[in-house]
Amino acid sequence: METPLRVPMITRLLERALLSAACCVCGLRALGAGLDLCASCREGLPAPPQAAPAQSLGSIPGSFDRVLIPHAYRYPIDEFIRALKFRGERRYGRVLGLLLAAAHVRSAATAPSSLVPLPLHLARLRHRGFNQASTIATYAGAALGVRVEGSRLLRVRTTAEQSRLGPGQRQLNVLGAFAARGRFQSEARIAIVDDVVTTGSTAREAALCLREAGAQHVELWAAAQVPWGRAAQP
């Protein structure tokens, strides 16, 4: 079954937006409003990394019914994510969200019924002032006409930064870190949204929580994936 979304819906959304016409990579004129990328820089974005070994995303049965990650965590995508996450430059959240939405359209897959951003713990949210995953999900959801449910998944305990931990420590670090608010309908198609994925430990723990709350179809959407063997440096 193909998604009911038609590409012109995204085009109309972008045309209505009052956004910069300059490419956010090279500064030249962008390809239309919204994406803030020129033709050359858009074509040069890093492709998703090759599949990792057995411990890679999707290798654990029941983790995700679908994984959508359109880019590798390489330049300039890594710079977009750092600018959003650590400097609060929301322009890059818009670019990442629209790239994610465009990747879904190209896949011709059935649209999810809702996007659920991977949450921050309240203490970290207060310190940072915003959730980068929620920013990305907001723009992707607006482009696709899919609602964003930012309060359905809660982070109930603080955890260490995953980027500072080894692969064996990551799953233990996020064990029991999430709680779902309310039950999900069995027919719901939920897509967890994150900025960057390394081993997928955090997203898998979130997916388990959503499944325990009744979600039977859970996808993982992320702006980028770290190539296997590398760490996402802050």
Flag the least confident range among 7-11, 95-99, 138-142.
7-11
Residues near 149 by Cβ (< 8 Å), separated by ≥ 6? 114, 115, 116
- Work out the mean pLDDT of the chain and round it to a whole number: 82
Banded pLDDT at 2 (limits 50, 70, 90): very low
Which of the four CATH numbers 3.40.980.10, 3.40.50.2020, 3.40.50.1820, 3.30.70.20 does domain 47-225 have? 3.40.50.2020
Contact 131, 149 (CB under 8 A): no
Banded pLDDT at 126 (limits 50, 70, 90): confident
Contact 14, 35 (CB under 8 A): yes
pLDDT tens digits for range 48-69 = 876 543 345 555 555 899 999 9
Helix (H) or strand (E) holding 192: strand 189-197
Residue in the structure block whose two tokens are 């919204």: 34
